[in-house]
Structure 1
Amino acid sequence: MKRRHFIKNASLTGVGLAVGSALVGCAETPSEDKASIAASPASLPLVIATWHVMDATAKAMEVLQAGGNALDAVEQGCMVEEANEKGQSVGKGGLPDRDGNVTLDACIMNKHGNCGSVVYLQNITHAVSVARKVMEDTPHVMLAGEGAKQFAMSKGFQPEDLLTEASKEAWEKWKVEAKYKPIINIENHDTIGMLAIDNNGDISGACTTSGLAYKLGGRVGDSPIIGSGLFVDNEIGACVATGLGEEVVKTVGSFLVVELMRQGKSPQEACEEAISRIVNKPNSDYKNFQVGYIAVNKKGETGSYAIHQWFSMTKFQNGVNEQIQSDYYHKS
């Protein structure tokens, strides 16, 4: 099922989806026994991503099979979706905020625990690549708004109008009856989060989005926030999130999943526990929003889980590039 169709079907009371990521530091922590949890060579390389993005995972695997590293793979894989104008959720062609501005959020994290992020970036298609430049070429982790744009241009990124005619028409149609309130109703959005393990057994991850459609100007979700939308610990595993970013941030979701794997849970068990933390919060309105996680551990085992039906993971491993429907919590 396509991501947009999923969002509509999962909106049980007309409430749509958003995307997410959260706050936490970027440093690695030591494992008890790295050698004991190393992936089998037969299972490598490996790529997983949120949603049905087989072209993106294929590109990432192409990089890995050519001897590239996991960081290059997740960047180039995410760039495929950022350049996909028909997607209306990532990069060029993304749906705008309530003022008609397409604003992008992205982050990336490597095997050393180093990370880079951009928030509220405008007029630059490949936000994930700018995030990588922040990580590699500055002493900072996050750049925002006009500062992020100026930095990108100083690194050779060319500005362009990201609001396509299709997205503009959708925005104009939405404005007819829309009320300017910071709520989620029929508006929706999602992201692409990608994790990869290369032939050396090293893990990297990336996450990129144009955020909640028709959001309040300046809104930032979980996707660019290390620990919420993405977290990588090269000795344990990695996780990325999608769905309503505000709820992911509240539980520092991706970091939580990785820490649960550190405690001995499988990727699947960790994703399920992280979802339970959201739905079991006092006064949780989980029936009216969606969150989904995907995760991988150092063994090359994967997991995915969501609150509602129709969330999926794309997985490329052992020569097979496939979409896998995720199990989910709310079945009644």
Structure 2
Amino acid sequence: MSSRRNFLRTAALGAAVLSLDGPSAIAQSKKATGKVKKPIVVSTWDFGIAANKAAWEVLKKGGRALDAVEAGVHVPESDPNNHTVGFSGFPDRDGRVTLDACIMDEFGNCGSVAALEHIVHPISVARKVMEKTPHVMLVGDGALQFALENGFKKENLLTPESEKAWKEWLKKAEYKPVINIENKSYDSKGTTAFNPLQLPGNVYNHDTIGMVALDAQGNLSGACTTSGMAFKLHGRVGDSPIIGAGLYVDNEVGAATATGVGEEVIRVVGSFLVVELMRQGYSPEAACKEAVMRIVKKKPEKAKEIQIGFLALNKKGEHGAFCLQQGFSYAVTTGETPEQEQLIKGKHYFK
């Protein structure tokens, strides 16, 4: 009887794996070499190149992945030309810049802040939540109070450019996002090439930076930070600060992060799903693809109008991504290549 139960349990698990994306996903993952590529850091979008450079400074010295991802996302958080993350982020409909971020380490410890105002580096506040409180998430005024009590400086995050964009948007108060506008603002080196403020006031979009890293000790950590959707309802929170949605790390398996319209990522608990698929044998890219397909299957018409992408890194240092629409890219930095960095176009579902 015991052997029969074991057989049935094994058969059920195999059927569950195969039903998600078929044998091809498992076959693809088995092509991996036995060598672990470490250290390595990957992050979303073209501006991930500059972020990765900061993270790499920590990793190349044998530093911890947690310290690397925090240092890495500090770059877009403080970039006055980046209107989708941190300082200079586009405000909500009331003209208030509110920030969301989360961080997770190799031990499963995690911290998060949401709807945080006046603090340039929400990712560092999230880390303080993780390390100094029994909680996972602090929001709004409570998050700000905690930040100030821990030495963070209160600043005005609404820059003249972002305020101008908000006032232009108020003329019609329409929300018609442009897919991948975050990449239209940066060239192949991750530097500012085009000013989104030149666009009409009804077409701004927002995004996030998600970063995951594997350090020389073979440990994973991740960070995710954003200023949320441009001109959102005050109080709106997307997937970025939610553990399991915008970011998830399991040191036995891998890590994943998400970008795009957060509401749809939350509905499928996207980053957790990607990591669990990797646990079942999927390669990073195949796992990201299956997560995207879950979104397409649930809301096929909605999926045509939005962008969502997933990025994953497993314990072997293998990385991959998949998105809904063409245009998503991710940055990779590793000691495995002479260039040490590259920008990769993510595969996409809609042609």
- SS of equivalent residue, structure 2 residue 156: coil
Match of 2:145 in 1: 150
Match of 1:46 in 2: 40
Letter in 1 for 2:131: E
Please give the alpha-carbon distance, in whole angstroms, between the structure 2 residues aligned to 1:192 and 1:322: 16
Please give the alpha-carbon distance, in whole angstroms, between the structure 1 residues aligned to 2:93 and 2:269: 27
Q: CA deviation at 1:40?
A: 3.2
Match of 1:101 in 2: 96
Please give the alpha-carbon distance, in whole angstroms, between the structure 2 residues aligned to 1:209 and 1:140: 21
Q: CA deviation at 1:283?
A: 5.2
Given the alignment of the two structures, is residue 137 of structure 1 paired with residue 142 of structure 2, yes or no?
Answer: no
Q: CA deviation at 1:186?
A: 2.6
Please give the alpha-carbon distance, in whole angstroms, between the structure 1 residues aligned to 2:240 and 2:96: 18
Given the alignment of the two structures, is residue 261 of structure 1 paired with residue 255 of structure 2, yes or no?
Answer: no
Please give the alpha-carbon distance, in whole angstroms, between the structure 1 residues aligned to 2:290 and 2:206: 24
Please give the alpha-carbon distance, in whole angstroms, between the structure 2 residues aligned to 1:254 and 1:283: 20
Go from structure 1 to structure 2 and tell me whether the alpha carbon gap of 1:65 and 1:39 turns closer, same or farther (over 3 Å shift). Answer: farther
Please give the alpha-carbon distance, in whole angstroms, between the structure 1 residues aligned to 2:82 and 2:209: 11
Match of 2:193 in 1: none
Bigger helix fraction: 2
Deviations for 1:20-51, whole angstroms, at most 9, x for unmatched residues?
xxxxxxxxxxxxxxxxx99735x210000000
Match of 1:63 in 2: 58
Given the alignment of the two structures, is residue 170 of structure 1 paired with residue 165 of structure 2, yes or no?
Answer: yes
Q: TM-score, normalised by structure 2?
A: 0.81
Letter in 2 for 1:116: G
Q: TM-score, normalised by structure 1?
A: 0.85
Q: CA deviation at 1:282?
A: 5.0
Identity %: 55
- SS of equivalent residue, structure 2 residue 298: coil
- SS of equivalent residue, structure 1 residue 285: helix
Match of 1:3 in 2: none
Please give the alpha-carbon distance, in whole angstroms, between the structure 1 residues aligned to 2:137 and 2:221: 18
Letter in 2 for 1:40: K
Match of 1:110 in 2: 105
- SS of equivalent residue, structure 2 residue 158: coil
Match of 1:4 in 2: none
Match of 2:349 in 1: 329
- SS of equivalent residue, structure 2 residue 43: strand
Higher CA-based Rg: 2
**Unpaired segments ≥5 residues, structure 2:** 1-31, 178-201
Letter in 2 for 1:281: K
- SS of equivalent residue, structure 1 residue 139: coil
Deviations for 1:73-121, whole angstroms, at most 9, x for unmatched residues?
0000000110101001111100000000000000000000110000000
Q: Greater relative contact order (Cα 8 A, min sep 6): structure 1 or 2? A: 1
Equivalent residue in structure 1 for 2:220, among 199, 203, 206: 203
Equivalent residue in structure 1 for 2:289, among 249, 272, 288: 272
